Structure 1
Amino acid sequence: MKTIKGPAIFLAQFLGDELPFDNLAHLAAWAKGLGYEGIQVPADPRLIDLEKAATSDAYCDELRRTVSDAGVCITELSTHLQGQLVAVHPAYDALFDGFAAPHVRGNPAARTEWAIAQMKYAAAASRRLGLSAHVSFSGALAWPYFYPWPQRPAGLVEEAFAELAARWRPILDAFDEAGVDVCYELHPGEDLHDGVTFERFLKAVGNHPRANILFDPSHYVLQQLDYLAFIDIYHERIKAFHVKDAEFRPSGRQGVYGGYSGWVERAGRFRSLGDGQIDFKAIFSKMAQYDFPGWAVLEWECALKHPEDGAREGAVFIRDHIIRVAERAFDDFAGSGANREQLRGVLGIGEKS
């Protein structure tokens, strides 16, 4: 059995212009000061030059030294924004264009090719950094049609997933060559947002061994999906873990869809660790049971609490929930030590005289 590594923290929500949130060295030292052992690094040019990391061992050695000098390590790289741009429905072109490099904005075809190239850089960079998992979004072509009204034309969803798979297959092959798993965060707004859609995609990419899951239970609470049963079903594909809390409090006025409300007013909203409804004791128990090989990474998103308070409390919360697994069975002391002949005798199947 494996003990989960952690605590670690995803840096995306903390990156900013002021100290200590302005660069990788400062953020790494800040995270260590809060008690974190690892950092999940978004592929933001303020933190990492992804193309340079894909091609230069010297640059990757420099990155490792930077975080090691602070007392932490890189757990995974994240390309959520680049992954989103692998597949964008035209309804979202304007809203997602800002995620892309300036030279491809306003050109959806060029933007897609740029995103695919970025993902391939991420595969090579992860390998050079000695990482085994990578976290991202799938992007979405079918999301505007998730509710079946107006009636979807026959074959629409299948065609969307065939195209999504065609775009991702060469990326997954690049990650396979690098020896790194792609862990999709199953997230509303993405075509991969629950178990059914992940299975659709997995089938479309021929059960590709590098198509895996970033488990984040907060998104399942907001969908009213059984997040514990999810682990039982998909544990072999869960290769990354965001520790993020949430709550769902429906009323006579709104439920899962939220009525276009802002985050504070929604029935389902993200909360800081311990402030929501998620049973993390059960989650960490299942992760230990199934030998989850990775890190427990805080992703802070909360409608109410200050991010620095959430980060400070999150390190303690994760550390207190990590289960140091047993090295032997609890009842070993009572072992009989019987040999095969004695066992057969106990069963009444010994040789007759």
Structure 2
Amino acid sequence: MKTIRGPGLFIAQYLGSAPFFSDIDGVSGFAAQNGFRALQVPVHDRAIVDTERLEESGYIDGWHAAIERHGLAVSEITAHRAGQLLAVHPAYDGVMDTFAPALLRGDPAARQQWAEQELRRSITLAARIGAGKLATFSGSLLWPFFYPYPPAPPGLIERGFAALAARWRPLLDYADSLGVDICFELHPGQDLHDGATFAAFLDRVDHHPRARLLYDPSHLRLQHLDYLGFIDRWHTRIAAFHVKDAEFRPSPDRGVYGGYGDWIDRPGRFRSPGDGDIDFPGIFSSLTRYGYDGWAVLEWECCLKNAFDGAREGARFIADHIIQTTQRYFDASMRRAAPPDELDRILGLKP
């Protein structure tokens, strides 16, 4: 059996202008001081990593060395914003434009083209540093129709998935050429948000071997999915893992959609690991059972606890849940080989 690696830290929620958080050396030092062994690195902040400088002599080597000086690895590269911008329904153009470079805002076609280029650069980066994994969102053409009232016109859902697959297939092929997995984080607001939608996508990309999953139980919990059964169903596709807790507290006024409330007021809320109601011992046990040997990465998005306590406690939480796998079964010494004749005698088939 294999042992999960960790703890890793998804640094997106920690970036900013303050010392420690404005460059890769600083955030690496912060992570190492809090007990993390790897960084999951987003590409949206050019001060952290500039994908447009990939071909600049020495840039990536120097960037990677800054992380390694702190004893850290890179677990995955992430490009959630670019993935989201690859497929945007026009209803969301205005809000999604905030994720695009300023010069592209108001031009959906140019924005989509930029997103594809950014995803290609991110795949290249993941390959060049040996991470081999890119985590991202799928984007969405169908989210306005996720609740069937009035029912969608016949063929609309199928057409939407076909269009989404057509945008991702060249990227999956490019990733395959470089040995990189694209790990989709199933997330409300994305066309790929549960097992059924991921299965529909797989059908349309010919079950591409590079179409993988970032397993984040918080998004499954808040959709009331069986997040442990999900591992049983999809373990062969799980290639990345966010340790993010959540809770659902039934309310007389708000349901799973939250009533447009802020996170603090929603029945379903993200919490720091151990503060929600997700069964992490069960998750770590299931992933270990199926041989997941990728990283367990903290994603902090708690609506109550501050990020620094979340990081310190989260690193310890992950370390405490990693199962150092056994090298032998407890009853191994009791087992002995027996030839067929003896097996028959044991069963009473022969005198």
TM-score bracket for the superposition, by shorter chain length: over 0.9
Match of residue 296 from structure 1: 296
Counterpart residue type for residue 211 of structure 1: A
Match of residue 230 from structure 2: 230
Match of residue 48 from structure 1: 49
Match of residue 34 from structure 1: 34
Q: Secondary structure at the match of 1:324?
A: coil
What is the rounded CA distance, in whole Å, between the counterparts of 2:197 and 2:42 in structure 1? 25
What is the rounded CA distance, in whole Å, between the counterparts of 1:265 and 1:318 in structure 2? 28
Q: Secondary structure at the match of 1:284?
A: helix
Cα distance change on mapping 1:60 and 1:343 into 2, 3 Å: farther
What is the rounded CA distance, in whole Å, between the counterparts of 1:222 and 1:285 in structure 2? 21
What is the rounded CA distance, in whole Å, between the counterparts of 1:251 and 1:234 in structure 2? 31
What is the rounded CA distance, in whole Å, between the counterparts of 1:96 and 1:327 in structure 2? 50
Q: How many residues align?
A: 350
- In structure 2, runs of 5+ residues without a counterpart are none
What is the rounded CA distance, in whole Å, between the counterparts of 2:143 and 2:152 in structure 1? 12
Match of residue 240 from structure 1: 240
Counterpart residue type for residue 113 of structure 1: Q
Match of residue 136 from structure 2: 136
Counterpart residue type for residue 124 of structure 1: T
Of stretches 323-332 and 10-19 in structure 1, the one that deviates more from structure 2 is 323-332
Question: Residue 334 of structure 1: CA displacement?
Answer: 1.2
Of stretches 198-207 and 332-341 in structure 1, the one that deviates more from structure 2 is 332-341
Deviations 1:171-203 (A, max 9, x none): 111111110110000000000000011011111
Indicate yes or no: 2:304 matched with 1:307: no
Indicate yes or no: 2:230 matched with 1:266: no
Q: Is the 8 A contact 1:42 1:78 kept in 2?
A: yes
Question: Residue 128 of structure 1: CA displacement?
Answer: 0.6
Match of residue 102 from structure 2: 102
What is the rounded CA distance, in whole Å, between the counterparts of 1:310 and 1:198 in structure 2? 31
Question: Residue 300 of structure 1: CA displacement?
Answer: 0.2
Q: Secondary structure at the match of 1:329?
A: coil
Note the 1:1-353 alignment, pairs <5 A. Answer: 1-43=1-43, 44-53=45-54, 55=55, 58-339=58-339, 342-347=342-347
Q: Secondary structure at the match of 1:19?
A: coil
Of stretches 241-250 and 144-153 in structure 1, the one that deviates more from structure 2 is 144-153
Percentage of pairs with the same residue:
51
Deviations 1:209-235 (A, max 9, x none): 111110000001111111000000000
What is the rounded CA distance, in whole Å, between the counterparts of 1:152 and 1:334 in structure 2? 61
Question: Residue 344 of structure 1: CA displacement?
Answer: 4.8
Counterpart residue type for residue 239 of structure 1: A
What is the rounded CA distance, in whole Å, between the counterparts of 1:20 and 1:122 in structure 2? 24
Deviations 1:152-186 (A, max 9, x none): 11111111111000000001111111101100000
Counterpart residue type for residue 240 of structure 1: A
Counterpart residue type for residue 151 of structure 2: Q
Q: Is the 8 A contact 1:272 1:302 kept in 2?
A: yes
Cα distance change on mapping 1:335 and 1:22 into 2, 3 Å: same
Q: Secondary structure at the match of 2:296?
A: strand
Cα distance change on mapping 1:340 and 1:48 into 2, 3 Å: farther
Question: Residue 342 of structure 1: CA displacement?
Answer: 3.8
Question: Residue 292 of structure 1: CA displacement?
Answer: 0.7
Counterpart residue type for residue 245 of structure 2: D
What is the rounded CA distance, in whole Å, between the counterparts of 2:219 and 2:297 in structure 1? 15
Cα distance change on mapping 1:167 and 1:329 into 2, 3 Å: same
What is the rounded CA distance, in whole Å, between the counterparts of 1:340 and 1:36 in structure 2? 53
Q: Secondary structure at the match of 1:223?
A: coil
Deviations 1:278-308 (A, max 9, x none): 0000000001000012100000001111111
Question: Residue 102 of structure 1: CA displacement?
Answer: 2.2
Cα distance change on mapping 1:231 and 1:57 into 2, 3 Å: farther
Of stretches 338-347 and 19-28 in structure 1, the one that deviates more from structure 2 is 338-347
RMSD: 1.4
Question: Residue 103 of structure 1: CA displacement?
Answer: 2.4
Q: Is the 8 A contact 1:183 1:212 kept in 2?
A: yes
- In structure 1, runs of 5+ residues without a counterpart are none
Deviations 1:47-77 (A, max 9, x none): 1111333x46733321221011111111110
What is the rounded CA distance, in whole Å, between the counterparts of 1:243 and 1:51 in structure 2? 30
Deviations 1:315-341 (A, max 9, x none): 000000000111111211212243555
Q: Normalising to structure 2: TM-score of the pair?
A: 0.97
What is the rounded CA distance, in whole Å, between the counterparts of 1:103 and 1:7 in structure 2? 38
Question: Residue 133 of structure 1: CA displacement?
Answer: 1.5
What is the rounded CA distance, in whole Å, between the counterparts of 2:336 and 2:265 in structure 1? 60
